[in-house]
Amino acid sequence: MNWIHDPVNSPRHYTDSHPGMECIDLTADTTFCLGNCCKYLWRYHSKGRPVEDLEKARWYLCRVIDNGEKIAWTQRQTRILTRLRGQAEQAGLEHEYRIWRDLALGDTDTALTNLDILLEHERNKQ
């Protein structure tokens, strides 16, 4: 079955954000809150509501922190995070790069700080 640009099985706001990768490949083996944080960060520049998506990512990241969730990435997830950092760096998205880096390291507090900076940057663009 061809799912390219299928709004149910392969929505554009996930596939266009990071070509060659699917968000579910990163989030399938995470906790609910960490997965949703990654989902909203993944798509924030693809759905036309970047501030809303980043605020949702922040809300879920705060839950990860408040719940004291430990992050343990699989090798596959680590490769995806490396690619996400590379894409963000290549696109000049410094704060997005830092958030993916911090999440890859399991440093949720620093990821939150960088997410706040990115969120403020996006708010100022409106």
Q: Is the pLDDT of residue 1 over 60?
A: no
Name residue, tokens 């004291």: 68
Q: In residues, how long is the chain?
A: 126
pLDDT, tens only, 51-108: 999 999 999 999 999 999 999 999 999 999 999 999 999 999 999 999 999 999 999 9
- Of 6-10, 17-21, 75-79, give the range with the top mean pLDDT: 75-79
Which uninterrupted H or E stretch holds 50? helix 50-66
- Structural domain boundaries in the chain: 14-125
- Listed as own residue / partner, the contacts of 25-32 with beta carbons closer than 8 Å and 24 or more positions apart are 25/76, 25/77, 25/80, 26/77, 26/80, 26/81, 26/84, 29/74, 29/77, 30/71, 30/77, 31/64, 31/69
> 29-46 b/e with 16+ CB inside 10 Å = b?
ebbebbbbbbbbbbbbbb
